Amino acid sequence: MSEALQTYFTRVGRYPLLTREEEVELAKKIESGDRHAKDRMIQSNLRLAISVAKKYQSKGCSLEDLIQESNMGLIKAVDRFDWRRGFKFSTYAYWWIKQSVRTHVASQASDIKLPAHTRNLLYKMNVMIKEYEDEFGQKPSYEEVSVALGIPPSTLMSMIKCSSQTSLDANIKDRSGGSGRKIAEVVADNRSPNVEDLLDSVKIKGVMRKALTSLTCREENIIRLRFGIGESTPDDTDNFKISNSELNKIKKDSK
Amino acid sequence: MPKGYRSETGYSTVVKSGGRSYKEIAEEMTAIGFKMKHSAARNILIEAMKKFAVNVCELYDMDGSDIDRIAADPRFQDCIASYLEEESMI
């Protein structure tokens, strides 16, 4: 934890928590435009904001940013709190803080910026899939999900595509939570030749060359003719080197 | 008709596109001064294939007793022909 955060936590811990009566009294003053009352209401609930922010620490955002966002949510809650309804402030503020932090996390989570309603739909989709799995022991089909969410299947597919994108520059988290390599470093390049194939190819080339050196010109020429690799010309006869014994054998065979 | 490859029951080799039959090869070789019949042309080709088969068997630690069968196998000959052509070795 950074020193700045430690100092912040120490300072926040000094503000006393409010009783229900104090909350109502402060809310009344805030309604009448008392700036100090608003400050006190915010300061006394900063610990709540921190506790909510900490819950989202593992979502890939820094704790400092999360605390800042949750504080923004807290301020919004202070502005909108209606003491007449009889609820504790923390009950009301919790949802505003959570909403603010979740919006921030969602906006940072993907390289593709998704509209708020799409993110909500994705959240609903995940909840629906989990409930379906718990109840039926299997995943729902895309059609079932689209019917449950009330959206066309094509929209659902687009949403899923957008949400499942991953940056090649993203770090791979290991078991200890640390990050070492990037995704791009471990994605296989299917276009590059396989190392084993390359080694095989080199070995086979060597073997083929070795075999070729042992071929007689007559054999080589017949291979050419048989497989149409090259056409022999009358000049090639000059290059035919054949031993006398082979010549005699050919003559003998042809008789 | 027996099932399996012709090479397993007799002589059979592949003719790549542009390649010639043993009869044509024998005629061509005879025309340039090396008188031979189609059977001699076939035997010479099989002997050449055996030279490749011996080396390939050594590379993959295969039993050398099957060299005759491998050399006469059209699939093996097809591979050798493709390789020689692709690599422009001859």
- pLDDT per residue as tens digits for the range A13-45: 999 999 999 999 999 999 998 999 999 999 999
- Domain ranges, ordered by start, for chain B: 19-86
Whether chain B has a CB inside 8 Å of the CB on A254: the answer is yes
Tell me the percentage of chain A whose pLDDT exceeds 90: 39
A17 and A98 share a domain? Answer: yes
Closest to A229 (Cα-Cα) out of B48, B29, B87: B87
Same domain, A119 and A102: no
Does residue A132 lie within any of the structural domains?
yes
Instruction: Please tell me the pTM assigned to this model.
Output: 0.42
Residue A100 maps to which CATH number?
A: 1.20.120.1810
Of A214, A221, A227, the CB nearest to B51: A214
Pick among A207, A219, A227 to test the B interface (most B CBs inside 10 A):
A227
B25·A205 Cβ contact <8 A:
no
Q: Give chain B positions within 8 Å (CB) of A218.
A: 29, 34, 44
Would A176 be classed as within a structural domain? no
Q: What is the pLDDT at residue A91?
A: 93
Cβ separation of A222 and B44 shorter than 8 Å? yes
A2 and A95, same structural domain?
Answer: yes
User: Residue range B67-71: average pLDDT?
Assistant: 86
Does one domain contain both A203 and A159? no
Mean pLDDT of chain B: 80
Tell me: ipTM over 0.90. no
CB-based contacts of B44: which residues, under 8 Å, 6+ apart? A218, A219, A222, B36
How many domains are there within chain A? Answer: 3
Across A208-219, average pLDDT = 86
Contact A124, A159 (CB under 8 A): no
Q: Are residues A203 and A230 in the same domain?
A: yes
Q: Higher-confidence residue: A1 or A162?
A: A162
**Which pLDDT belongs to residue A234?**
45
Torsion angle of the four alpha carbons A73, A75, A77, A80, in this order, in degrees rounded to the nearest 10: -140
Give me the CATH number covering residue A122: 1.10.10
A123: in domain: yes
Question: Taking residues A210-222, what's their average pLDDT?
Answer: 86
| Residues in B 30-89 with any Cβ partner in A closer than 8 A | 32-37, 40-41, 44-45, 47-48, 51-52, 54-56, 58-59, 80-81, 83-85, 87, 89
CA within 13 Å, CB half, A205? 10
Residues A134-174: tens digit of each pLDDT: 999 899 999 999 999 899 999 888 888 877 777 788 777 76
In the predicted structure, residue A232 carries a pLDDT above the cut 60? no
Question: Is B28 an interface residue toward A (CB < 8 Å)?
Answer: yes
Domain limits at A105? 1-109
Domain contains A190: no
* Per-residue confidence (pLDDT) for residue A236, from 0 to 100: 47
User: Do A124 and A104 belong together in one domain?
Assistant: no
Whether residue A179 is contained in a domain is answered as no
pLDDT tens sequence across A180-204: 788 888 888 888 878 888 888 888 8
Give the span between the Cα atoms of A131 and A113, in whole angstroms: 27
Q: Are residues A30 and A97 in the same domain?
A: yes
Q: What is the pLDDT of residues A81-123, one digit of tens each?
A: 999 998 999 999 999 999 999 888 877 766 677 777 887 888 8
Same structural domain, A153 and A102: no
The pLDDT value recorded for residue B90 is 58
Residue linked to tokens 């300061």? A43
Q: Are residues A120 and A104 in the same domain?
A: no
d(CA B42, CA A223): 10
Cβ distance A166 to A186 under 8 Å?
no
